[in-house]
Amino acid sequence: MTCEAERFTAANIPPLRGYVVIVTGGNAGIGYETALQLARHDARVYIASRSEARVMEAIAKMRRVQASVDVHFLKLDLQDLNSVKAAAAEFERRETRLDILINNAGIMACPYEHTKDGHEVQWQTCFLAHHAFTLSLLPMMRQTAQQRGSARAGVRIVNVSSDAALFMGPDTIQYDDTNLSGVTGSLAPWRRYSHCKKASIIAAKAINTRYDKYGIAAYSLHPGVIKTGLQAHDTSFLGTITRVTMKLTPTSTVEEGARNSLFVATSPLVTDHGGKFYGPVGKLNHRAEKLTSDPKTADMLWDLADRQLRDHGFAFDH
């Protein structure tokens, strides 16, 4: 599988006519390229983002590439859990199916701050809000899988994570302090970033375990070291090294970065590997199994997220 996966490009995406897709943060970076390529293969794509103006600019740009793309704006602010709830409700008002959800939006190594909901900004943006959005849409995804008439028909959830989860930050989820409020020093933003990305990997495994029987598969992935604006505000030594590395890496473009998302979201080669973590492109990263191999870890994160979201009015029937 590896050789075939490594050769995967957007040209290998199967026909997606009739598919409905959401890409969070799809107006820029690898999210833009992901949304564009899925739309070019006839999927109806919703770009979920805070800024309607930026999304409409992105859609206009896509239509200059291919006039027929079917792309729409869905208002979603991951730093406001009320917005997450409203976005899911609005999507359900507009559509009756959801075939692929790509939780792509994120921030990286930000200074310590809380969202209006009281959570550390990276924890909420990269994990908790996406988890809430996903769980809110799972009933529709179950219905979509049932309509397809096959438990292996390809209804998928993709968490865009990072391999930083595997070598930075705390070794395990800090259940008593998900904000990592006591962590200090120049690398503290990176440790919080690693922490929330650990959670996104574990969450994909947990969702797959619970929903595979309904025809829904969940995955997580590392897109690679990509030239985007995510790292611009990080003034630490590691941030400087990261930016220099990206400047010297000729293949770290958004087109390259989107390949792994597109592969995991559409390729039949991942069908038997639900819950797994993929490195670019299409490479199973077995180091992640240290995070996901113990079912108790997934259960504890699931329960933690449920408690945190219950405080904001979410109630899920798992």
* Active-site entry in 19, 197, 276, 278: 197
d(CA 184, CA 125): 20
The residue to which tokens 């979920």 are assigned? 48
Is 130:102 a contact under the CB 8 Å cutoff? Answer: no
- The reply to whether 193 belongs to the active site is yes
Which ranges of 149-223 does DSSP label H, i.e. alpha helix?
188-211
Q: Tokens at residue 110, please?
A: 């930000």
- The reply to whether 197 belongs to the active site is yes
Peptide bond into 21 cis (omega under 30): no
Residue 3: burial class (beta carbons within 10 Å; 0-12, 13-18, 19+): exposed
Three-state SS at 160: strand
Cα 311–144–289 angle (5° rounding)? 65
* Active-site entry in 19, 193, 211, 219: 193
Is 65:32 a contact under the CB 8 Å cutoff? Answer: no
The residue to which tokens 């929330």 are assigned? 196
d(CA 247, CA 2): 28
Is 218:190 a contact under the CB 8 Å cutoff? Answer: no
d(CA 48, CA 46): 6
**CA 15 and chain centroid, separation:** 22
Name residue 298's amino acid: A
Residues assigned a catalytic role: 193, 197
